[in-house]
């Protein structure tokens, strides 16, 4: 158990809908990262927050957004969902803002029908 | 830009045999390198990491990896495979001040009884 929690574990929704994925980092960690894992793209970095501020952006679509709250939990919002958004979404946390070891949560499996 | 190449998307070894999973990296700055393992329907678990200290790094579950700058490699080994080692293994690279992990495409390890 990494100490990173993600909810929900599974999510099934329809195209065009909007969903919110939630992540709670390990106690004391200030950085939260979001990754997408799909069969065709592999593991891709989406976005990072550090202590409430956006720190780095990767291959995140404009339909996706995220935020980190004062209690340091983070939410990833996915809107106007398409079939291709079906994937595993991982959250990771680290103590520092850069190059710190990242600890991954169990992931949220999203299926868009 | 940083990248990781994992040679062999599937590797099969007999129980008790040597495990060797290959990882080559590309980085214009000194890299930090990681191996993660993903068991079916689970998140990524950190096996070991190299962050510019000793070049031979020991991790959990009997795994180790050696950083070879001249070969830009960070191969993962285990002297004797166990059935419980069957999983997918990911090599990842980052660097000081870099916010994201760049992952390889993964190697699925199968253990033959």
User: A102 with A92: CB under 8 angstroms?
Assistant: yes
Give the residue on B whose Cα is nearest the Cα of A109: B41
User: B109 with B14: CB under 8 angstroms?
Assistant: no
CB of B43 within 8 Å of a chain A CB? The answer is yes
Paired with A51 in beta bridges are none
The whole-number pLDDT of residue A24 equals: 98
Question: What is the rounded average pLDDT of the residues B101-109?
Answer: 94
User: B13 with B19: CB under 8 angstroms?
Assistant: yes
The whole-number pLDDT of residue B7 equals: 93
The whole-number pLDDT of residue B86 equals: 97
Contact across the interface for A104 and B44, Cβ inside 8 Å: yes
Q: Is the dihedral of CA A111, A58, B108, B76 positive or negative?
A: negative
Give the residue on B whose Cα is nearest the Cα of A92: B44
Interface test with chain A among B44, B53, B107, by most A beta carbons within 10 Å:
B44
**A17, two tokens:** 């809908």
The whole-number pLDDT of residue A98 equals: 67
Residue B66: CB atoms within 10 Å: 15
- A72 half-sphere exposure, CB direction, 13 A CA radius: 18
Dihedral, CA of residue A49, residue A53, residue A58 and residue A61, to nearest 10: 100
**A107, two tokens:** 């992931």
Residue reference for tokens 């299926």: A111
Average confidence score pLDDT of chain B: 93
CB of B94 within 8 Å of a chain A CB? The answer is yes
Paired with B20 in beta bridges are B77
**A30, two tokens:** 């200030």
The whole-number pLDDT of residue A99 equals: 64
pLDDT tens digits for B61-103?
999 999 999 999 999 999 999 999 999 999 999 888 777 889 9
The whole-number pLDDT of residue B51 equals: 87
Q: Mean pLDDT per segment of 10 residues, for chain A of length 113 residues? A: 93 97 95 93 93 92 96 97 96 81 94 97
Q: Is the pLDDT of residue B53 over 80?
A: no
Question: What is the rounded average pLDDT of the residues B9-30?
Answer: 95
The whole-number pLDDT of residue A10 equals: 96
**How would you label A31-43 residue by residue, b for 16+ Cβ within 10 Å and e otherwise?**
bbbbbbbeeeeeb
Give dist(CA A54, CA A67) in Å, integer: 8
């Amino acid at each position: 158990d990494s100490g990173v929690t993600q909810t929900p574990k599974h999510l099934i929704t329809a195209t065009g809908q909007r969903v919110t994925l939630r992540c709670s980092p390990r106690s004391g960690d200030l950085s939260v990262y979001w990754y997408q894992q799909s069969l065709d793209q592999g593991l891709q970095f989406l976005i990072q927050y550090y202590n409430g501020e956006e720190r780095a952006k990767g291959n995140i679509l404009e339909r996706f957004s995220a935020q980190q709250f004062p209690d340091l939990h983070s939410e990833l919002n996915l809107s106007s969902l398409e079939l291709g958004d079906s994937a595993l979404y991982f959250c990771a946390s680290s103590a520092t803002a850069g190059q710190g070891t990242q600890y991954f949560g169990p992931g949220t499996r999203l299926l868009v029908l | 830009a940083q990248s990781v190449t994992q040679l062999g998307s599937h590797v099969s070894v007999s129980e008790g045999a040597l495990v060797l999973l290959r990882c080559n990296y590309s980085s214009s700055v000194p890299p930090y390198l990681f191996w993660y393992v993903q068991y079916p329907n689970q998140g990524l678990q950190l096996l070991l990491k190299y962050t510019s200290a000793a070049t031979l790094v020991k991790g959990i579950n009997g795994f180790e990896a050696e950083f070879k700058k001249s070969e830009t490699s960070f191969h993962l080994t285990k002297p004797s495979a166990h059935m419980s080692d069957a999983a997918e293994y990911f090599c990842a690279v980052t660097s000081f001040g870099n916010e994201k992990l760049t992952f390889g495409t993964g190697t699925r390890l199968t253990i033959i009884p």
